[in-house]
Amino acid sequence: MSTASNAGIARRSAILDAALTVFLKSGVAGTKVEALHRASGASVGSIYHFFGSKEGVAAELYLETLRDYFDTYLTALQSNTTARGGIEGTVRTHLEWVAANEQRARFLFHCREYEVIDESRDIIAALNERFYAEASAWLQPHVEQGRIKPLPPRLCQALWMGPCVEYARLWLARSTDFDMLGAAPVLGRAAWNAVEA
């Protein structure tokens, strides 16, 4: 990879990192491109070159974060051959990912601004479809062999992930600190109890 390419990748990454801080503080609608320029050190021209608009920056930040979360989750799921290991492992992975990526998790789970979602609606839909297809492919043999309840795949995932997703949201919105990761064994067992056949 050329030095120019490396510099471009570094500049693009710096814009996204700075944008995360600015968007969390002011929201996407309340942020001006000039604020992204000041926070990242990248020129306004570079911001438009890489992302096309402020909404393009926010959309790419959202998509990059969503891809990372999905990839981390699916890796944890697919590396487990047992039904219980997969269920409990993804609960733990979700909590660990949120703890390790607190600011990005905050943006991903709380960003509901129309401009961001609309900018990347088709890509978000495709990522969701791929995610659920791969998760369902892991799930199906366990359902067929009577280890997991025969529920629609999205309902099954809602049952096992719902409590840990909500617990992580409470941690992100906390007014007092608490040990989110310490709850992983309890939430993992609850998830398994919810879907075990």
Q: What are phi and psi of 196, to 5 degrees?
A: -65, 135
Q: Where does the chain have alpha helices with state H?
A: 3-26, 33-40, 44-51, 54-78, 83-100, 102-110, 114-119, 121-144, 153-172, 184-195
Alpha-carbon distance values, 149 to 105, 114, 120, 132, 155 (Å): 30, 36, 34, 17, 11
Domain identity same for 82 and 112 = yes
Q: Which CATH number characterizes residue 106's domain? A: 1.10.357.10
Domain count along the chain: 2
Q: Kindly tell me if the per-residue pLDDT of 59 is higher than 80.
A: yes
Q: What are phi and psi of 69, to 5 degrees?
A: -60, -50
Domain identity same for 140 and 182 = yes
- Which range of residues forms the domain containing residue 138? 54-195
Domain identity same for 60 and 44 = no
Domain identity same for 142 and 115 = yes
Domain identity same for 79 and 123 = yes
Domain identity same for 75 and 169 = yes
Domain end marker among 21, 37, 52: 52
pLDDT at position 175 is 73
Domain identity same for 48 and 62 = no
Q: Which CATH number characterizes residue 35's domain? A: 1.10.10.60
Give the tens place of pLDDT for each residue, 9-55.
788 888 999 999 999 998 888 888 889 988 888 888 888 888 888 88
Domain identity same for 170 and 83 = yes
- pTM listed for this prediction: 0.88
Domain identity same for 97 and 174 = yes
Q: Tell me the C-alpha distance between 111 and 119, whole Å.
A: 13
